[in-house]
Each structure stands twice: as structure tokens, then as C-alpha cells.
Amino acid sequence: MSEQIHAVTMPKWGIEMTEGTVIRWNASAGQRIDKGEPLLEVETEKIVNTVDSPFSGTLRRIIAESGEVRPVGALLAVLAEDDVSEPTLARFIEQFKGAQVSFEPDAAVGTAASAAVHDAAPGTEAADDEPRVSPHAKRLAERLGVDLARVRGSGRNGRITREDVEAFAAQSSATAPAAVGGADNTAVRLRLSPTRVTIARRLLESKQTIPHYRLSIEVQAAALVQRAEQAAREAGRRITMNDLLVRACALALVRHPELNAWLEGEEIVRFARADVAVAVATANGLITPVVRGAEAKSPAEIATVTAELFERARRGELTREDISGGTFTISNLGMFGLPRFDAIINPPQVAILAVGVAEDRVVAIEGAAAVAKMMTLTLSADHRVIDGAVGAAFLGTLRTLIEEPQRL
Amino acid sequence: MPQLSMRDAINQALHQEMERDPRVIVLGEDVSGGAGGTSGQREASGGIFGVTKGLLPRFGAGRVIDTPISESAIVGAAAGAALAGLRPVAELMFADFVGVCMDQIYNQVAKFRYMFGGKSACPVVIRMAMGAGMNMGAQHSQAIYGLLTAIPGLKVVVPSNARDAKGLLIEAIRDDDPVVFFEHKALYPRKCEVPEEPFRVRFGEASLLREGADATVVAIGRMVVFAEKALDALAKEGVSCDLIDPRTTSPLDEETILESLENTGRLVVVDESPPRCSVAADIAALAAGRGFGSLKAPVVQVTAPHTPVPFSPALERAYVPGPQRIEAAIRQVLGRNR
Amino acid sequence: MELDRTKLLDAYRRMKTIREFEERLHVEIATGEIPGFTHLYAGQEAVAVGVCAELTDEDYIVSTHRGHGHCIAKGCDVTGMMKEIYGRRDGLCKGKGGSMHIADFDKGMLGANAIVGGGPPLAVGAAIACQLRRPASGEGRVSVAFGGDGSCNQGTVFEAMNLAVVLGVPTIFVFENNGYSEHTGADYAVGSKDITARSAAFGMPAERVDGSDFFAVHAAMQRAVARARSGAGPSTIEATTTRFYGHFEGDPQNYRAKGEIERQRATMDCLARFRATVAADGSIAAAELDAIDRAVLLEIDAAVSAARAAPMPSESELTTDVYISY
């Protein structure tokens, strides 16, 4: 009869107590105990206190010996009358479920871990003479090898921000190359510039996460060359084929807005204006200044904008504004004589056009072999949002614009 | 390095600062306890949570002052003593008792310097135990740091571990402005390595406890512990996040949050307070403003509900934002909801 | 006015109920099954019952963090209280309040309060309502502000006492001086060491009574309540008493001398003193009181069993009851 069996459990003394240590038993098994008699001593984080026996009976079993730590509610001993059989006692002990105390919010009611005492991750703290620096700025400085003592902070109380580190690194340009000794070869070890770090990160992300596909098309370029010369004469300034290609792409983009877009999370952002980014190689690496509203600009206006952007890019004076917000990118390596190549999409954009050199190629025209000025355009597109037919249609429009360039 | 509980780390900071600077005094209800008792034992208590233990025997009743239950007088007297050149550390026992002495805190202490044209300094520290999770009911469980963060003139500290608690309290005592110092009751027994010697943790400088590319998780006080658990669980799926503990909600380290957001584009804020006008809402507003260009997904706030703290453990467990809710929030911000 | 036998028996039953309720909680809390932060009233029963014996359900009381005794004295359901303390769904406050926030508006019990000094201003407000609704002739309703010696040092209490005097409202301030504000002695924390004189200085009658003597408390309450009901304004009763347990359950009570509680249990036990008084004047036989003792034990047993068996609140109840409409 379980009414004749009484559980002595780890008491809960005070709000914070979740466990206690048995210090000493004042009685031994088999001894008769009266209600209120001091039965054992328990130690908590704060005190040592005596547990008076809550019941009268024989101390039949001691479950938790001196020195043992038990959570609040755990069985410490069993009191019962002498006529309670051993098997009954054993069953009681086996089936005993004490109260469980937990302050963890996710613990299911009635089940809980014991005390919430384990290691917390230590915070970082700065000695008084250490420079004030944000954690991300500190990481970047370590990566770029920037000496923080030399960086001026623009944050609160002169704290160094990541932008400060980037600016410092850009300013001190190519950080002094350090020689590395090989046994029979000499090498230098160069830190990536901040620009290069950014390029690397974005290209890797693009290549790894965007399902690229490529579409190539050969177009006749003779008319475009003539149109460029004509426009230059009219404007009285240099206008390149590239400037006309920017305009051609802009017009094609307006007609195919699927490509004039960003993919953000699960949303496509389609733009009304074609802000065409033009990849340009500089000493610091690839930069893509943006020609805004290219569909509404004349070839001469585009030429003025690109000339100025390229010049500032070469001098390293481009602002963040100049290089952000492009809705589509053109990469032209024709000047290096490359017949064709493909490019990696610049996210969040969804497509990029790679332009090869305009060169004389043997082609079949009306059933006969002929020589014509040809150019290969390769579109890389993000298959998540642009299907092949859409990309092909865009290239078709572009071909028409290039081969019949009066509208440019 | 010795392992100390947050309780003992704060206690050590108080000892070291009182040792270093005779202007530091401690006052509050039962900070020693036993005054006027029949046992003749002074320091019968050492604070209801044992945080001020040992101060009375070491520094005497002149500098370790037991007060009647009079919160307005405790804060007001501490402020007055600060104006007169002392560096008092007042203890309010439970943060909820701020309600009794709000005038002294926000009309008096917070405004002196500005009202008096920068002529005064009120270097008072007001310590208090806060937080839900221990079934102490609606008037002993609140996390009200957001309320005081909204008040210009106060600095507000919410440590998440023993080491920070020590460094931040030393900084608070040495700081010339009024500082409100929140100690989460459930963090008192948690241990970590704490340097023995005095050191300072500057205000307005968050700690970046973990680094990852997928999302930025900002958590305050005890929520840092739960955020770590959530991140442990998600790490098994290859998810890694920046975990930022602002440590002080005023000043707030906006740079660290924004710089992290630039990397991750996704933000989860975890705050034990109810959601309206909370620190979580404040940080979400920061992301929506200065961090807008970085955002790839809506900011997710994990907070207590807009209710008082319930007593019943069944309800309080649901009230406190725990690891599972934080984990779900991170999945949500990553678009990994099932 | 002498109490009749029925009222005397009722008073004894309530005191005994409070005692056994608290003694049983002391045991049950140690098992870890009861959540939170509990402050036991054992030892102070004569104050709550001596005061509330003069009140009806139409009168109001405000209580403290040590409120179980006030609740039982004012007629709150013992099982509902026990369920509340266990955090159960059908507790008196649906498990949302707990030990420190039990309220029962049907019984004029405006709530226990976990903020020291939080209650007395509320009692003054309730008394304003009583005064406005005072019948043209006859007696009005009253409010009682229970507080400990610790609360008398709060500004809110000073303000409430002054306002009650200014408005002449029917509030009775009852200070239960059990000698300790938490872990600090009242002799230290109350500067003048005299709560009665301090209260009188606000401009109202104040008297000190032996709080372990039910009859003394009751007589003082009769004087105060007669004044209040007649429209003569507020009064203060300071009842010197003791608590048989710590400030809260788990308090090691290092501030109390060894043997103090045993001595006080021997000399200041209001139940024993009640029995001695009625035995001396022969008004009630010991056997009648013994029968009450047995019935009370059964009632408390039943309340604990019911509370342990009662369901926990469901998570959906977390966000209800914040507003009436929102």
C-alpha cells in the first residue's frame, strides 16, 4: 500500500534552488523516525539546512548517500511501516516520480534538465589601451593585414568601422608585398585588395548559387561599325561600338523586361529603366560603372557618360553610387581580340552579355561563302527566372538592333 | 582562469571597485540584511540573491547601507550622493520595483546633466534583478530594459554572462553618467571564465559571439544563451549565423549590427520584453532604415507576447522566447519554413 | 459588542484554516511541486480574522505579498486558492496570478500585491467609492489596507494615509508588525520605531494591539469600523505579531535568533490563546474546537488533492485577459 510508504525528496528551499547535496544522514536504514525529527542535512549554493522528517515510520531505504547531488524533487529516502514488503518498496522506488523544477522555457511540462549551470560563452572585452574597433572591422583588418593602430575611426568615440578599414586598405593600395622564400624559386605573397575581396566574394556566390546557362549568337557588325562612325561625325566626338551596344542592350531590355531585373529572395524586381552596367578592367580589378537610363540616352550622351566613368574608374575615383544599382551588365573583351567568351552573372542581376571582337569571318550568305564582319554575343542568364526562349528572344531583338542600327 | 558564476562575478566587481575607490558605496534593501534582527548576525542576507555578500564585513555599514523598503528614497538618495561626489551603487532588488521610483529615475537622475546645462555629473549605478522564467508572477518577472533604454540620459546595461557582467559593472561604476544595470535572475548561477583582476568592458560595443554568413542574430541578456542553443541545433544543418550580444542597449552598437547585416542580409532580433516599443523593435527599425540596402528578407523579431508575465509554469514557458522559437525564426528569415 | 457563539466558532475555523493551509504549503513547497515565490502567513492569523470578522462581502480589502490569510479571512474559496498557488487553469485567477496575486472581487478582495506599499492607495480609492455610495441614513461600507511593517516606510503609504485623512474616507490601515521587513528588523527600518505614533501624526486615530490576541484585534477593529461606517473617517491599527516562517519559503532566516520561532510558537500562537480564552470563560467546549480542527485538516487535504489533479492552463490562455477588448 503506497499510503504506507513515504518518499523523502530533495527539498526546494528558495526560488533559485534546483539541486542540493546530501551532507549527512542523522539516521541509518532500519531506524524508527518520528515526524519532525531531523533526518538529514542538505547543502545548497546558499545554505546548509536540516530536513526534518515529514512523516513517521521506519527509514527503510536511503537512496542518496552523503556527498551525492540530487535535483529538487528527487527521491532521497523511503520511510514505511515494517510490514511493507521489500518488493512493494522496490516497486514504489522504481515507479517514483518527483516534482521536477526547471526554468527552461522549452522544457516540456514535467520533464526537465537539472540546474542550468554550465559554461556560457565568454564575451570579448578590451583592455583600456586597445583601439576601439567593431568586431567585423577587426576581422577584416586581420584578413587584409591592416594595422589598426594606423586606422582612424569614424564610429562612436572614434571607433573603427569596417568602412574605415576598407578605406585605409584601399588608400595604402597594394600593401607591401612580402617575399616568400622557396628553395629554388622566388615568389611574392600579395594581400587581396578590399575591392578584390569583394569581387571574389560576389563572383563565388554567383557561380555557386546561380544556375547559369549560355546562349550564343553571331551577328553582322558592319552596319554597327558604320553607325558608330556616323554618330561620331554628327556629334563631333568619339563614339565607340561599345557605346552603341549599351544603347542596343538598353532598348532590347525595355522590350524584354524579364532580363531587366533583380532576383531578391523569392521576388523578382523588374525595372522600368535600363541601368546598364559596363564591365571595365582597372588596375584594382574589374569594376562595373552604371549608365543610367541608357534607353533614353543618345549614343553621344552614352559616350560622354561612359568616357567619364571609365576615366574615373582608372583613377580609382568611382563612388559607391557610380557602381551600384545596375540592372544588366555588358562585358566586352573585343579589344583583346577574343572571338567569344562567357561571363558570370553579377547578382542580384539575372543576366549578363559577353561581347567578342568584331572580325572578318567566312560566312554563308544566300548560299555562297562570303566574308563579313561578324561578332559573337553570349548571354549568360539565370535559369531560375529566365527560360531559354526568353533569352533567345532577347538575343533576336538585339541582333536586329545591331544589324539594322538606324534606330540606335 | 577561474570559473565564476554571474552572481560571484558581480560580487567580485563590487569588492574590487569599493577597494579601489572610497567614493563607491552600496545601498538597498537587505544588501547586508540583519539590521535590527534578533540573531545579532549582521549580513544575515547579503542581498536577496546573495550578490552583495561580504561587502558589509569588509567595508562596514557606513558604505554598505541597508535601507527600509523605500525605492524612491533609495534611488533619490543614491542620486543625491552622486551629485555630492560619491559613486553610489543602488540596488532595487527586483527590476519591477522601478515602478515605485520611476520619478527619481527618469525625471531626476536622467535629466540632471541636460537640465543643468552640463554642469552636473550623477555617476550613480542602479542595479536590479530582472526576467521571467522562475514563476515569480507578474510583478517580479519583467524585463524592462526597453522602457529605460527609451529615456535619454540613462545608459542601460544588460549582460548575458558572468565575464561581461564583471567588466560592464566596473565600467558602470567608473562611468560618470547614470547607468541602469540589469541582471537576469536565471543567469546568476551560470558560470564562465572570468579574469580575476579588474577589467572594463566598454559601453556601446557589442560582442560577436559567433560568426556565420546566413543571418545575423541579435540577442539580449538571457536570450543570448537560448540563441546559442538554437544555433547549435541549426549548425547540424549547415546554417551559420553571426550572433551579436549588444551588451548595452543604450548606447547601442549600431555599427556591429549593420556591418553584420551587410554580410548576411537577414536579421533576427531576440528580446525577452513584450514587442511594442521594445529594443527588438528599435533594432528592427535600424535595419529598416540604415540597413535597408542590405536586407534580403523581412526582419524577424522574437519577443515575449504583449501580455504581463503569467505565473503558471505552463504559461510562463510559452511566454519566454526559448531556443525552439529562435530556431524557427532563423528558419523563417532564411526562407526555410516547411 | 460581544461576538456570538456562531461568530466565535467561525473565527476560530478561519484562523485554523489559515494555519493549516500555510503549514501544508510549507510541506508541499519543499517537494518542489509548487512553483514560484511563496510568503506564508502562519502566526498572523488573528490579525486577518480579527479584522475581517467585522467586514461583509460588500466591504473591500487590499492585501500584500503575504496574502493567503487575508484571502481566507475574507472568504475566498480555499480550493480555488490552492489551485491558483499550484498554477492551475481553474485557480481563482486562472493560474495567471499565483500566490502573490490572488483576488476575488465577489468577496470584496481587491487583490494581493507583490509591490510593497502598492495596496494602500487602492484602498483609499475603494473608500472614495464607498463614501460616494453611502446611504443617506445608516452605515456605509469600508475598505481595509493590509500592510506589513515594511510597507509603512513607502512613500505610497504615506501619501495614501494623508489622502484618506484629507478626504475623510472610510479606510482602515492595518499594519501587521511582524518585526521584519524581509531580512531587516523593523526596529532598524522604522526610524521612529513607532508605527502607531507615525500614523496618528497624519491626523487619524491609531492604536497598537497584540496581534496574537484575536479578541484584542477584533475590539480595535470594532472601534475603527464603527468610525468608518459612521462617516468619521480613517483609522490605523498596528498589530504586533510574528511570522512562524521566513520572509519567503527558502529564507534561511539568519537574522532571527536561534529558538526565536519556537519561543514565539509557544507564547504567541493565536490559536492556543483563543482556546485558552474561550476555555476560561467557558463559552466554547474544547471538543467543539477539536471537531473544527479535524474538519479543517480534511478540507485542506481535499484542496491539495484537487489542486494536484487540476489541469494546467493551455498555451492559448497566455494572451487572453490582457484587455477586456482590444
Q: Are A15 and C250 an interchain contact pair (Cβ–Cβ within 8 Å)?
A: yes
**What is Dmax (Cα atoms) for chain A?**
119
Chains A, C: CB contacts within 8 A come to 43
From CA C265, how far away is CA C275, in angstroms rounded?
Answer: 14
From CA B318, how far away is CA B303, in angstroms rounded?
Answer: 11
Buried b (16+ CB within 10 A) or exposed e, C53-88: bbbeeebbbbbbbbbbbbbbbbbbbbbbbbbbbbbb
For residue A70, which phi and psi values (nearest 5 degrees)? Answer: -135, 145
Predicted pLDDT at C293 = 98
B102 and B9 in a common domain: yes
Q: Is A167 domain-assigned?
A: yes
Domain count, chain B: 2
Q: Does A357 touch chain C if contact means CB atoms closer than 8 Å?
A: no
Q: Which residue has the cell 553584420?
A: B260
* Element containing residue C227 per DSSP (H, E): helix C214-230
B183, B185, B190, B195: CA torsion to nearest 10? 20
For residue B315, the chain A residue with the least C-alpha distance is: A105
Q: Is A130 domain-assigned?
A: no
A336 and A240 in a common domain: yes
Q: pLDDT class for A389, splitting at 50, 70, 90?
A: very high
Decide which of B193, B221, B244 is a domain's last residue. Answer: B193
Predicted pLDDT at B226 = 97
Q: What is the ipTM of this complex?
A: 0.88
* Element containing residue C49 per DSSP (H, E): helix C45-52
Q: Which of B255, B263, B294, B303 to mutate to test the interface with A (most CBs of A within 10 A)?
A: B255
Minimal CA separation from C308 to chain A, in Å: 11
pLDDT of residue B98 exceeding 50, the answer is yes
A91 and A159 in a common domain: no
Domain CATH for B282: 3.40.50.920
From CA A300, how far away is CA A298, in angstroms rounded?
Answer: 5
A156 and A20 in a common domain: no
Q: Which residue has the cell 491539495?
A: C304
SS3 A135: helix
A225 and A371 in a common domain: yes
Q: Is A112 domain-assigned?
A: no
A276 and A162 in a common domain: no
Residues 6+ apart with CB under 8 A from C135: none
CA B153 centroid distance within chain: 17
Minimal CA separation from B330 to chain A, in Å: 15
Q: Does A109 touch chain C if contact means CB atoms closer than 8 Å?
A: yes
Domain CATH for A276: 3.30.559.10
Is residue B184 annotated as part of the catalytic site, yes or no?
no
- Residue A132 is which amino acid? R
B70 and B216 in a common domain: no
From CA C180, how far away is CA C248, in angstroms rounded?
Answer: 12
Predicted pLDDT at B112 = 94
- Residue C240 is which amino acid? T
Cα→Cα distances C62→B58, B135, C124, Å: 41, 23, 10
A278 and A339 in a common domain: yes
Q: Are C252 and A46 an interchain contact pair (Cβ–Cβ within 8 Å)?
A: yes
Look up residue C288 and give its three cell numbers.
467543539
Minimal CA separation from A61 to chain C, in Å: 18
Q: Are A119 and B189 an interchain contact pair (Cβ–Cβ within 8 Å)?
A: no
Residues 6+ apart with CB under 8 A from B52: B11, B14, B26, B28, B31, B32, B46, B64, B91
Q: Is B60 domain-assigned?
A: yes
Q: What residue ranges do the domains of chain C occupy?
A: 5-319
pLDDT of residue A257 exceeding 50, the answer is yes
Count other C-beta atoms under 10 Å from residue C144's C-beta.
33
Q: pLDDT class for A403, splitting at 50, 70, 90?
A: very high
Predicted pLDDT at A111 = 30
A250 and A387 in a common domain: yes
Domain count, chain A: 3
CB B263 within 8 A of CB B242: yes
pLDDT digits (tens, 9 = 90+) for B30-43: 999 999 999 988 89
A183-197, A313-327, A371-385, B46-60: which range is least confident on average?
Answer: A183-197
Chain B residues with CB under 8 Å of C312 CB are 312-314
Predicted pLDDT at B239 = 95
CB B107 within 8 A of CB B72: no
Q: Is B202 domain-assigned?
A: no
% of chain B beyond a pLDDT of 70: 99
B155 and B239 in a common domain: no
Residue A99: which of C33, C37, C250 has the nearest Cβ?
A: C33
Cα→Cα distances B83→A199, B79, B119, B120, Å: 55, 6, 10, 7
- Answer with the residue of higher pLDDT: A4 or C130: C130
The sign one gets for the Cα dihedral B1, B6, B11, B13 is: positive
Concatenating the DSSP letter of every residue in C229-254 gives HHT---EEEEEE---SS-SSTT---T
Predicted pLDDT at A1 = 43
From CA C31, how far away is CA A77, in angstroms rounded?
Answer: 13
A281 and A341 in a common domain: yes
Predicted pLDDT at A184 = 63
Chain B residues with CB under 8 Å of A104 CB are 133, 322
Predicted pLDDT at A122 = 42
B157 and B76 in a common domain: yes
Cα→Cα distances B45→A61, C191, C247, C253, Å: 36, 21, 11, 8
pLDDT of residue A295 exceeding 70, the answer is yes
Q: Are A123 and B297 an interchain contact pair (Cβ–Cβ within 8 Å)?
A: no
Predicted pLDDT at C249 = 92
* Residue B261 lies in domain: 207-333
- Residue A325 is which amino acid? G
Looking at residue B61, the DSSP 8-state letter turns out to be T
Predicted pLDDT at B73 = 96
Size of chain A, expressed as the number of residues it contains: 408
Predicted pLDDT at C217 = 98
CATH homologous superfamily for the domain C5-319: Thiamin diphosphate (ThDP)-binding fold, Pyr/PP domains (3.40.50.970)
Predicted pLDDT at A284 = 64
Mean local confidence (pLDDT), A374-382? 95
Decide which of B151, B170, B193 is a domain's last residue. Answer: B193
From CA A313, how far away is CA A309, in angstroms rounded?
Answer: 6
A216 and A170 in a common domain: no
Say which of B15, B140, B184, B306 is annotated catalytic.
Answer: B140
Decide which of B123, B158, B193 is a domain's last residue. Answer: B193
**Residues in chain C, pLDDT under 50:** none
Q: Is A312 domain-assigned?
A: yes
Chain C residues with CB under 8 Å of B67 CB are 189
Residue C32: which of A47, A99, A109 has the nearest Cβ?
A: A99
Count other C-beta atoms under 10 Å from residue A254's C-beta.
17
pLDDT digits (tens, 9 = 90+) for A92-120: 888 888 777 777 776 543 333 333 333 33
Q: Does B319 touch chain A if contact means CB atoms closer than 8 Å?
A: yes
Mean local confidence (pLDDT), A81-93? 88
* Residue A24 lies in domain: 2-95
Minimal CA separation from B211 to chain A, in Å: 9
Mean local confidence (pLDDT), B50-56? 95
Q: Is B201 domain-assigned?
A: no
